[in-house]
């Protein structure tokens, strides 16, 4: 089979040399129509123009590709479907969304605020009862007279507060015996027993159950060293005086 292109005509049998034409690329075998190894100038120019157009379009689209590279077409499709569903419901403006949201959330927010306010009042009552029981229980060991608890409790509130279900010393109340350390209830009672002797009996026993003024009813159940959650659980019973709180030293 004769070669399509040769660089030297001597490579072609003499009988076939007349079928070759000399070109810039060498000797080319004559064929009917367009030669498969050579592109006509017109077609070459057309390819070049097409490549120029494609390159221009690619240069134009490249910035858009970088700009929208994080956009997921599927997510966009879902969002458009959601917007369409909102349109069917008549929700086209931000104000409409706010209105519908308020209609659903408003009552729940009001109910939550009411519940928080009720719990706050209930917690304040529970804390007040716990402070009364703690002061009353410890003060009776010092011989506090039954009618003197309210007065002593008012004084105690200046130095003590209930935090997380535990009677704690306020930040400004420091020990007299050990300056710089928090005032302890026993030291505070000792000081006030001397300061207000008329409120105390001369000798006050060893801390029997249900001492007068403790805030609990006779026969009340004892809740020993309760956690904050246990105080909340038994809050109603404590407030009613059916249960009293005691903490071991």
Domain of 20, in residue numbers: 5-66
Please check whether residues 154 and 240 belong to one and the same domain: yes
Please check whether residues 60 and 156 belong to one and the same domain: no
Out of 42-46, 74-78, 146-150, give the one with best mean pLDDT.
146-150
Mean pLDDT of 224-235: 74
Please check whether residues 36 and 146 belong to one and the same domain: no
Residues 235, 162: Cα–Cα separation, whole Å: 14
What pLDDT shows up at residue 87?
67
Residue 147 neighbours by CB under 8 Å, 6+ apart = 213
Q: Per-residue confidence at 21, pLDDT binned at 50, 70, 90?
A: confident
Question: Which is it for strands 221-224 and 243-246: parallel, antiparallel or unpaired?
Answer: parallel
Closest CA to 133 of 219, 217, 229, 199: 217
Identify whether 58 is part of a domain: yes
Mind spelling out the 3-state secondary structure of 119-159? Answer: HHHHHHHHHHHHHHHHHHHHHHCCCECHHHHHHHHHHHCCC
Which pLDDT tens digit goes with each residue over 177-212? 998 999 999 999 999 999 888 888 865 444 434 444
Give me the helix-helix angle, 94-140 and 149-156, nearest 10°.
120
Which pLDDT tens digit goes with each residue over 138-180? 999 998 888 889 999 999 999 999 998 899 999 999 999 998 9
Q: Is the pTM of this model over 0.85?
A: no
Identify whether 239 is part of a domain: yes
Domain count, the chain: 2
Identify whether 39 is part of a domain: yes
Identify whether 119 is part of a domain: no
Residue 138 neighbours by CB under 8 Å, 6+ apart = 185, 186, 189, 207
Please check whether residues 28 and 131 belong to one and the same domain: no
What pLDDT shows up at residue 161?
94
* Percent of the chain predicted with pLDDT > 90: 23
């Amino acid at each position: 089979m004769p070669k399509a292109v040769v660089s030297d005509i001597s490579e072609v049998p003499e009988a076939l040399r007349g079928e070759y034409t000399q070109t810039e690329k060498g000797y080319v075998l004559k064929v009917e129509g367009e030669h498969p190894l050579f592109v006509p100038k017109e077609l070459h120019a057309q390819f070049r123009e097409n490549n120029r157009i494609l390159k221009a379009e690619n240069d134009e689209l490249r910035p858009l590709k970088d700009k929208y590279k994080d956009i997921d077409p599927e997510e966009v499709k879902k969002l458009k479907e959601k917007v369409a569903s909102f349109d069917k419901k008549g929700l086209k403006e931000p104000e409409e969304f706010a209105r519908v949201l308020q209609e659903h959330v408003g009552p729940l927010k009001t109910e939550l605020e009411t519940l928080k306010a009720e719990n706050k009042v209930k917690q304040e009552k529970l804390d007040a009862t716990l402070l009364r029981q703690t002061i009353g229980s410890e003060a009776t060991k010092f011989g506090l007279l039954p009618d003197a608890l309210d007065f002593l409790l008012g004084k105690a509130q200046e130095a003590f507060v209930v935090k997380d279900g535990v009677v704690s010393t306020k930040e400004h109340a420091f020990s007299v015996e050990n300056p710089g350390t928090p005032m302890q209830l026993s030291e505070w009672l000792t000081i006030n027993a001397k300061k207000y002797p008329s409120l105390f009996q001369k000798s006050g026993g060893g801390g029997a159950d249900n001492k007068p003024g403790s805030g609990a009813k006779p026969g009340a159940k004892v809740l020993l060293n309760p956690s904050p959650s246990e105080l909340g659980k038994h809050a109603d019973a404590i407030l009613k005086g059916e249960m009293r709180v005691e903490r071991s030293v």
